[in-house]
Structure 1
């Protein structure tokens, strides 16, 4: 009897090992290129940290490509399967006559993520105080710059006439340029804006996200051919993302900060919590992956206002919500 018991245990162990190996082999790797590493993308890191992608049989190979142009180039050259970047980039590619258009399939953020930072402390800020100032804006043609100009015009400020607008500084160098003395005001993402405030280098006076309304600011996108050939994997990816979005929605900033801290090792967890709360309070994190038509039209209105819209593109041409809708089910 003892012999049979040992034999049974050995066979069970062998079967378990084979099953484990088989499961590992079935895990599909999807290469994701993110435009920057930012607390603004908290739900993505929650999905990674909480194992939501792995639960769906997906392994995410995440690379930071630092900038919209580089991210889109990486996707177009098959250096990545999926890109996390502003939806405007898909419009730029489509307008150049792409045979295999880039399709937006899941939304991550639904407002602008930048803040207006003043060099000097302002007790009672009003937008007209920017008139006559030097404003260090974001790279021309990108969503931050277009939203920045859109908001200025909304407050009756002509970006070309009412202030000195600087737009020739690379995205990665904008914060350093401001810290070195360039500009009276600067448009910055978090956590840089809050770090500057902590260090006395600047003061957050307004939110571009609050001012500009809802837009598909950052979305997951892929080539149309890739979506067709990998439908099941994209479904799984989107379902994991939706789980993370719901988790972010139902947990407080402290819990979210603790979950995503491994992706921001050089940032104090208290600062991460502060930034997450700021983004949550202004509704920056999309609560589901569906990019709706109103947001798409608002995006193109902002692009048109900035004279950066090559041509109007119909919502159904570059947006596929089927994966997002299945994820919700």
Structure 2
């Protein structure tokens, strides 16, 4: 498998594949298919005959055993130029070229529980190449940005993104940015952030939820997540006591932004007690094009309530 169905399935984690089996399968002639909006990126040479060989939109890739859409050639080239392992949000072309890791699952989307700690350790080592989904590819990027902020915050703070295919970004290390703290407080079931300027903020919320294994949970407004019926809210882990998430502020108004919460399902009383919070204004490394890359996506989300 390359990146088959990950964008179509969205929430389904990619299968964990260990060892060299995947690379050997591709080398043996397995058909590698990449599906960005139902377009085939890699075609099997025997199936296509000589048609693709004469088509300038494709180039034969010996390592993948087929024809590669030229729009994805830079992504494959970047992965091959790296000596260190590539970290991927979803298992994709870069992972096939680089080979799956033996000490953890193969993608961030599948990093749950203790596997998340393993991925966190890999990110702490500042990998030379990290591949994520481009924000215009699907609304599920807004969910990933919200739910897997533990991963994205490192990219936003200390990496610079470059488009290497129609649906992927490749991130390389950059000089880390400094995030200034801004006042934050909880008022009952609301979070209040003193955001004097429009932009992205990080909120670290401390709370007491219904507990691990609970069949209900609380969502907090972040004005980022618009996947399915999220409506700009991100779910809080019911068994955790602290969670970090990004917040988009488009109109700071008087400088006070109020983030509402809601329980799923709605019950007689609040599921979660908000205890305290801290917040930081997100800035990007010098020269990084992150703001422009994510600008259109973030501008399309309904803003949080201004005070």
TM-score bin (small chain): under 0.3
TM-score, scaled to structure 1: 0.24
Structure with greater Cα Rg: 1
Greater relative contact order structure (CA < 8 Å, 6+ sep): 1
TM-score, scaled to structure 2: 0.25
- Higher percent of residues as strand: 2
